[in-house]
Amino acid sequence: MPKNDFYQKVYRVVEQIPVGRVTSYGAIAGFIGVKSGARMVGYALNQLADQPLEGAVPAHRVVNRLGQLTGRAYFGGDAMRERLEQEGVTFKEEYTVDMDKHFWDPSEELNSGILS
């Protein structure tokens, strides 16, 4: 799968994450069909670092498998945590989302047709 095609699939999945929910890099990679592609999902999202907020792909809703805000460096300051809190996401630790409460699994919530 070409890199650009993979990135577009990542963005389509991330755009479906509901307000107040998060998913993981690995869950997105698995849904797309690239089981070991969690790091590649991160690379795709890093490309969005300079996007304007309005109409943006909600990359702040993607965390690592433990719920940690590993992408927060790309948002500047505490913007990632602040955006999640504004959406009602709660934390177990300072930078760790309560995954039991907020995890959204694209494999359970989406039809693979979204990737076409």
Over residues 59-109, the pLDDT tens digits come to: 999 999 999 999 888 888 899 999 999 999 999 999 999 999 999 999 999
Rounded to an integer, what distance in angstroms lies between the CA atom of residue 84 and that of residue 110?
22
Residues 9, 65: Cα–Cα separation, whole Å: 20
> Could you report the per-residue pLDDT of 7-61, keeping only the tens digit for each?
999 999 999 999 999 999 999 999 999 989 999 999 999 988 777 665 689 999 9
- Domain count across the chain: 1
Distance from C-alpha of 7 to C-alpha of 40, rounded to nearest angstrom: 8
In a domain, 115, yes or no: no
How far, in Å, CA of 85 to CA of 87, rounded?
Answer: 5
Range of the domain at 93: 3-108
| Distance from the Cα of residue 35 to its chain's centroid | 16
Q: What is the pTM of this model?
A: 0.92
Residue 76 within any structural domain of the chain: yes
12: CATH? 1.10.10.10
The answer to whether residue 116 is domain-embedded is no
